[in-house]
Amino acid sequence: MITDEKSRAVVLLSGGLDSATTLAIAIREGYEPFALTFGYGQRHAHEVDAARRIAAAFGVRRHLVLEIDLRAIGGSALTADTPVPKGGPGECAAAGIPVTYVPARNTIFLALALGWAEVLGAAGIFIGVNAVDYSGYPDCRPEFIRAFQELANLATKAAVEDARPIAIRAPLIEMTKAGIIRLGSGLGVDYALTTSCYDPTLEGLACGACDSCRLRRRGFEEAGVPDPTRYAGAGTTS
């Protein structure tokens, strides 16, 4: 039995604002974080770079970047050549689940995190999904997280044989974007290291127009926290 060590937790780290805040929460709760990032054929390798900067800033001991070629599966504007929509979240919500939805993405990410958590002997998996200021993805809802917990309790040797279940933690799931930003600012998250834009410029500036940029910008405004994001063109708030 490990007694003197901190409990380990796998933290899914996308390079975005939510997952950076989630990492800070896991650390505050006393876990030793093991960061897991996926290179999944998304348009934006800049997300992986952001994840590396965030992990380094928090002194994470091990940051695993796992490549899975979700382009082979296809089906999303984030992995394929479909244009990213810029109609704003309102229009997207009206039209249902947006084309930026990557089929079964969180199921895939949690499944891989579960495998690593079992190998590490981790007590938990942290994921920064959010069901409030979100884009309408079905795998960001509390009932999805609960169903994955049920699955994890049946799927792993850790839970079945060693009575050592792995807790699936989604601490942001009921929070607003503004609330997340306020909490993270208090925990020392440097949001300048994070990236949210679905469609940044070649120089790495955020477009300011995609769903993700709109949610992020509004979040900083509502939180009353200065937005460190570098936006392209006239849409800057600074």
Using CB under 8 A, list all residues that contact a second copy: 64, 66-70, 72-75, 96-97, 101-108, 110-112, 114-116, 118-119, 138-139, 141, 143-144, 147-148, 150-152, 154-157, 159-161
In the complex with a second copy, which residue's Cβ is closer, 125 or 232? Answer: 125
User: Least separation, in Å, of the C-beta of 106 and a second copy?
Assistant: 7
Give the β-pairing of 124-126 and 8-12: parallel
Helix (H) or strand (E) holding 107: helix 105-120
In the complex with a second copy, which residue's Cβ is closer, 17 or 70? Answer: 70
Radius of gyration of the chain (CA): 17
89 Cβ contact partners less than 8 Å away, ≥ 6 residues apart: 135, 211, 214, 215
In the complex with a second copy, which residue's Cβ is closer, 155 or 225? Answer: 155
In the complex with a second copy, which residue's Cβ is closer, 141 or 214? Answer: 141
User: Least separation, in Å, of the C-beta of 229 and a second copy?
Assistant: 29
User: Least separation, in Å, of the C-beta of 209 and a second copy?
Assistant: 24
In the complex with a second copy, which residue's Cβ is closer, 107 or 236? Answer: 107
Q: Distance of CA 64 to CAs 41, 48, 189, Å?
A: 16, 11, 20
User: Least separation, in Å, of the C-beta of 130 and a second copy?
Assistant: 16
Dihedral sign from CA coordinates of 104, 47, 88, 84: negative
In the complex with a second copy, which residue's Cβ is closer, 64 or 187? Answer: 64
d(C-alpha 90, C-alpha 78), whole Å: 19
Structure tokens given for 36:
């897991």
User: Least separation, in Å, of the C-beta of 142 and a second copy?
Assistant: 10
Burial call 89-118: b when 16+ CB within 10 Å, e when fewer: beebeeeeebebbbeebbebbbebbbebbb
d(C-alpha 217, C-alpha 232), whole Å: 13
User: Least separation, in Å, of the C-beta of 102 and a second copy?
Assistant: 7
Category of 187 on φ-ψ map: left (φ > 0), alpha (ψ -120 to 50) or beta: alpha
